[in-house]
Structure 1
Amino acid sequence: MNEGYSFLQLLFVKYSDSEYLSEAWTPINETLKQFLQNSAENFKPTSYQTTYCQIYKTVCKGYKERLFDDLKNLVTEHCYSLKRQLDESMQKMIDDRSNTRMNLFFLQFTNLLHQYRRAIEAIVPLFHYLDIIYVKPKVRSSIEQELLLLYKTIIVESFLNHIFILLQHLINTSHRPSKETIDLLLHLISDITPESAIKQYDLFKRYCDGEVVFSEITSNDEDMITSAPRTASKRPVDDLPGEEDQPSAKRTTNMIKSLHTDN
């Protein structure tokens, strides 16, 4: 009995800042990077369990707010790294103006979104205790909602109009993406930004079971990502790309109209 009480006392002794960094955040950070970079193929279940215990211990030791902020900062940095990759690819697509380059950009956007969703599915269970102790009662959101909102704000909102314009063009060419790829993208989009599914009803009806998608959105309206508090970290407005950095959807449309089709 005394041993159990002593263990609980030790568990709830607060970390110092240096202990938090060395014993908690540094190993947790390395694990999260593996998932975000999709390099966790050889990740052992015992390591996953160890990380879960590290997060649980960190919350008990009074670092729940710091841990949540560090998680969001790490994911924000990762999302901006992905955005830079997409910015570069989009500029190449605009310079080249070929259907091949458009298709490559479409596939890259879809693959990055799919990889991110898979990473979130692995990361969220690790933070279950933080979710129920801090994020849901205090932030009135969830870790999954917050991490999806980061991707939506930083990447999806920057490129989605371009992606839909490209898709409308490519489906009428020999470079059209496979039905499976289109279906995957649309389901991922409906998951992250349900309002876009409504705006693109014809596309969803053509490539997905549109009625099912929209009934799910209606029935789960309270759980929609857009209803979550916008607490996700954002860069200051001054740091966001201007028109000269991020081509407008209108420019993408004009590019498609004037493109030369590669054979």
Structure 2
Amino acid sequence: MMDIPPDQNDKYINDYWNTISRAVGQILHNSPGVRVSFEQMYSIVYKCVCDGFAEKMHSDLLAQCSHHLEEVDRSLDACDPRIPQQYGEESLRLVIAFHEALELYLIAVQQITPIFAYMNKFYVEALLQTSLQVELMDLFRQKVADRRMDRIMASSGPASDLTTEVLSQRQGLHQDIQVQPTLDTWSHLQIVGSSSLRDTDYGETYLPPSRPDTSALPPMSSY
């Protein structure tokens, strides 16, 4: 990563990242009663990119999401049966907790990606040849899913039926998410369909307009 002079780093932190990080944290933790302004956050991200901090902001965003997922991973450890073959209520509790964690993270991703749409278009897609959405879902796979999916999907007997039933019943919230009870699919967690970014009910926490059209934004020189 390119080094930022101390005075510019202070500007980045004070003018941009402190506010951005606080909002991202509220979204990730689904803070009750907290309303994040899409317009304000999108504008801050836009100006941050225009000031040349896209790489720094991208790195800090992934680090913050990674730290959050490490906390999620630790919370799931408390639901993880000590003996993999000992299926039943503990195994079912792990399946439910895992899927709840996945659902909450998917909601957060659907809120975060429109806020960072400008950074995604002109840095992540243009220079890194990927998308922020893919990066955020890959973090979940790396930090949470990979090491425990064998245990979840290897359930036998009644637990296997319960696992499939739970995963099936809890699909209703995210019809655009491809979740199949196979190890291969869990190794490639992804959101399909751009409609997932437009049609989500954000409730009291987040009320964005339609997905921003970055092509309609004024030239960066106007900022």
- Structure 2 Cα separation of the partners of residues 108 and 60 of structure 1: 40
Structure 1: give runs of 5+ residues left out of the alignment: 1-14, 199-216, 218-263
Aligned match of 1:151? 140
Paired AA for residue 144 in structure 1: Q
Contact 2:24–2:112 (CA<8 Å) still a contact in 1?
yes
Displacement after TM superposition at 1:128 (Å): 0.6
Superposed, 1:8-157 pairs within 5 Å as 16-39=8-31, 41-44=33-36, 47-91=37-81, 94=83, 97=86, 99-157=88-146
Displacement after TM superposition at 1:94 (Å): 3.6
Displacement after TM superposition at 1:102 (Å): 1.5
Paired AA for residue 17 in structure 1: N
Paired AA for residue 98 in structure 2: F
Q: Deviations over 1:14-40 (max 9, x none)?
A: x72111111110110010011111126
- Structure 2 Cα separation of the partners of residues 95 and 171 of structure 1: 13
Aligned residues: 182
Aligned match of 1:5? none
Paired AA for residue 138 in structure 2: L
Paired AA for residue 82 in structure 1: V
Is the deviation greater in 178-187 or in 116-125? Answer: 178-187
- Identity percentage of aligned residues: 22
Displacement after TM superposition at 1:96 (Å): 11
Paired AA for residue 150 in structure 1: L
Higher normalized helix content (fraction of residues): 1
Structure 2: give runs of 5+ residues left out of the alignment: 1-6, 193-223
Displacement after TM superposition at 1:197 (Å): 7.0
Q: Provide the alpha-carbon RMSD of the alignment.
A: 3.5
Displacement after TM superposition at 1:105 (Å): 1.0
Paired AA for residue 111 in structure 1: E
Paired AA for residue 104 in structure 1: R
Contact 1:79–1:154 (CA<8 Å) still a contact in 2?
yes
* Other structure's SS at 2:130 match: coil
1:164 aligns with 2:153: yes
TM-score (norm 1): 0.60
- Structure 2 Cα separation of the partners of residues 103 and 55 of structure 1: 41
TM-score (norm 2): 0.70
Contact 1:79–1:151 (CA<8 Å) still a contact in 2?
yes
Higher RCO structure (Cα 8 Å, ≥6 apart): 2
Displacement after TM superposition at 1:118 (Å): 0.7
Distance 1:187 1:110, change over 3 A: farther
Aligned match of 1:229? none
* Other structure's SS at 2:148 match: helix
